[in-house]
Structures are given as structure tokens and as C-alpha cells.
Amino acid sequence: QVQLQQSGAELAKPGTSVKLSCKASGYTFTSYYIYWVKQRPGQGLEWIGYIYPGNGGTYYSEKFKGKATFTADTSSSTAYMLLGSLTPEDSAYYFCARQGLPGSWLFAYWGQGTLVTVSS
């Protein structure tokens, strides 16, 4: 079955970076888009963008351009998101998710989320 296993919680200082991981299993990693979503505690969902591991293509929502960078390692079926120049406003849960059927822009499978806390 499709599974997305995310890395553990991060505590980071302002101005630094964190790299989150999302290890996929149960399907062909290169055939489906991986999305990233931000959720501040008690708040709604924000789409950050996607990476297509098949060719490394990426899309970033305007708000997250320059903040997030997506990469993927096809040898380990793992997607990564680098968050840079951290501020307290970046403190949130970050979810990876996989699209549904190819061509559908649905969040059909989700990782468990990674909590990032930015504090001095």
C-alpha cells in the first residue's frame, strides 16, 4: 500500500535552514507528483508546491518562492523540502502528499507530518 514516511520534528534557530524528508513506498516513485503542504497549529492548509520525481520538475506557490526548495532522490524514493531563512512564521506542521491518479491534482495519500519549530 502507498505510504509516505516523514522525518522527525525539527527545532531550528531563526535565519537557519531545515531539510525535511518524505520517504515513499508501495508504488512507483517516479510516476506520481509529490506535494508539500503547510499547516500552522490550529490553522488551515496551504499548498507550497510540488515536485515530479520522474523528471525533477517543480512548481512553487508564489508565497513560497525563495522559501522552499524541493528535491527528490529516486534511488531511495525520497522527496525533500529545504526551508531556508527561517523565521517564527515558518513554525508549522509540514505534510508531504501524493497525487491521486496520474493527471489528478488531488492529495490522495499523506505523510504523518513534520513539526518545525523556529525559535531562538
Partner 1 sequence: DIQMTQSPSFLSASLGNSITITCHASQNIKGWLAWYQQKSGNAPELLIYKASSLQSGVPSRFSGSGSGTDYILTISNLQPEDIATYYCQHYQSFPLTFGGGTKLELK
Residues in contact with partner 1 by the rule CB under 8 A = 35, 44-47, 59, 61-62, 95, 97, 100, 104-108, 110-113
Nearer Cβ to partner 1, position 84 or 113? 113
- Of the candidates 36, 38, 33, the one whose C-alpha atom is nearest the C-alpha of residue 21 is 36
Q: Which residues contact 4 (CB under 8 A, 6 or more apart)?
A: 22, 23, 24, 96, 97, 98, 109, 110, 111, 112
Nearer Cβ to partner 1, position 62 or 89? 62
To partner 1, the closest distance from the beta carbon of 120 in angstroms equals 27
User: What CA–CA distance (Å, rounded) separates 42 from 27?
Assistant: 32
Nearer Cβ to partner 1, position 19 or 63? 63
To partner 1, the closest distance from the beta carbon of 118 in angstroms equals 21
To partner 1, the closest distance from the beta carbon of 64 in angstroms equals 10
Distance of CA 112 to the CA centre of its chain: 11
